């Protein structure tokens, strides 16, 4: 409904946001608050909990955007603030800049706010070359995490060990590959002929949820140790926004079947590469002393920013639109 409303009355905003409006469906904070608070409380407290979390989310987003626009363009809300001689910080308008800013925000908040411990103490259309381009771009230059910020929740939470990270990455790649193929077929051979393309969000989520349920049952049946290691993050593949994001990019960019499949496989491998790299680094620094407040998500996001900055070096190899 929000997507349709924006397209009707704010087309410029809708075009700017692109697939990210639809990806609100898989925003983990929505499912997280429903699971952690709403199902145990009455509607009125749940409403205010959702409202407060939404406002908090928006404030963090505005805080990060404030400094990224100010340092990256020298302006605020499009108005020049720092003058014509300001030398723009190019890093701030690139994906690594967002990771650095978010890591710094977490660091500052953990320094200013008491920790739990302190509180407790105190209280087909293109050739093979084109498809290869989509495949490698999805891994390196258009990485779902490092370039599009999709699939961050499980990426941060499960990346403490290489073995678990690799297993989850394999599951995500498997789901991405087949759901991209299935959603392509459903969209082009069912939704488009029937003229009900506007139902694509609902249909894509149903396809993804059904396929993830199948994967979860298989892992539970044959790989129980892995099943318990992944815990809640296995079913949460359903709301991993990278999964839905690939299907939406596929439609928005009008990919062919072969391109869509290559993009799906590459996106899964790129997500796996990122989470395994992060897990390896986190294991190496686990016992190293860190500044207070920077432990956990703070240093994880700064590391991710450095990884994203390193992947910028691949940008000249191949690009996709």
Q: Are 242 and 26 in contact (CB under 8 A)?
A: no
Binned at pLDDT 50, 70 and 90, residue 269 comes out as very high
Q: Which residues pair with 80 in a beta bridge?
A: 75
For residues 218 and 116, what is the distance between their CA atoms, to the nearest angstrom?
37
Q: How high is the pLDDT of residue 321?
A: 56
Q: How high is the pLDDT of residue 113?
A: 63
For residues 184 and 159, what is the distance between their CA atoms, to the nearest angstrom?
30
For residues 99 and 90, what is the distance between their CA atoms, to the nearest angstrom?
14
The answer to which of 38-52, 102-116, 152-166 has the lowest mean pLDDT is 102-116
pTM for this prediction: 0.70
Q: How high is the pLDDT of residue 274?
A: 92
Q: Are 158 and 275 in contact (CB under 8 A)?
A: yes
Quick one: tokens of 31? 């499912």
Q: How high is the pLDDT of residue 278?
A: 92
Average pLDDT over residues 17-36: 71
Average pLDDT over residues 23-37: 69
Whole-number average pLDDT of the chain: 82
Q: How high is the pLDDT of residue 181?
A: 94
Element (H, E) at 221: helix 200-222
User: Would you list the domain boundaries of the chain?
Assistant: 125-314
Segment 1-14, tens digit of pLDDT: 777 888 888 888 88
Q: Where are the alpha helices (DSSP H) in 37-140?
A: 43-73, 95-112, 116-122, 128-136
Average pLDDT over residues 220-241: 78
């Amino acid at each position: 409904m929000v997507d349709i409303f924006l397209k009707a009355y704010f087309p410029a905003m809708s075009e700017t946001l692109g697939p990210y409006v639809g990806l609100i469906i898989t925003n983990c904070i929505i499912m997280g608050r429903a699971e952690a608070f709403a199902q145990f409380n009455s509607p009125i407290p749940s409403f205010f909990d959702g409202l407060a979390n939404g406002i908090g989310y928006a404030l963090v987003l505005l805080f990060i955007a404030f400094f990224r626009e100010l340092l990256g363009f020298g302006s605020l809300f499009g108005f020049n603030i720092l003058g014509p001689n300001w030398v723009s910080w190019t890093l701030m308008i690139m994906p690594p800049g967002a990771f650095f800013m978010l890591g710094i925000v977490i660091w500052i908040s953990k320094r200013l706010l008491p920790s739990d411990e302190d509180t407790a103490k105190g209280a087909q259309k293109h050739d093979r070359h084109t498809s290869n381009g989509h495949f490698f771009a999805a891994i390196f230059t258009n990485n779902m995490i490092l370039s599009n910020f999709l699939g961050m929740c499980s990426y941060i939470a499960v990346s403490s060990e290489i073995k678990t990270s690799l297993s989850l990455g394999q599951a995500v790649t498997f789901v991405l590959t087949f759901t991209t193929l299935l959603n392509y077929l459903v969209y082009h051979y069912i939704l488009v002929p029937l003229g009900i393309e506007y139902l694509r969000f609902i249909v894509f989520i149903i396809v993804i949820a059904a396929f993830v349920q199948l994967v979860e049952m298989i892992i539970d049946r044959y790989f129980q140790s892995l099943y318990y290691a992944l815990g809640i993050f296995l079913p949460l593949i359903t709301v991993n926004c990278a999964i839905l994001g690939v299907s939406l990019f596929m439609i928005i960019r009008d990919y062919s079947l072969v391109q869509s499949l290559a993009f799906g496989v590459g996106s899964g491998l790129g997500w796996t590469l990122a989470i395994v790299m992060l897990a390896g680094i986190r294991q190496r620094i686990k016992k190293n002393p860190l500044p207070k407040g920077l432990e956990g998500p703070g240093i994880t996001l700064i590391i991710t920013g450095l990884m994203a900055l390193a992947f910028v070096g691949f940008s000249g190899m191949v690009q996709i639109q």
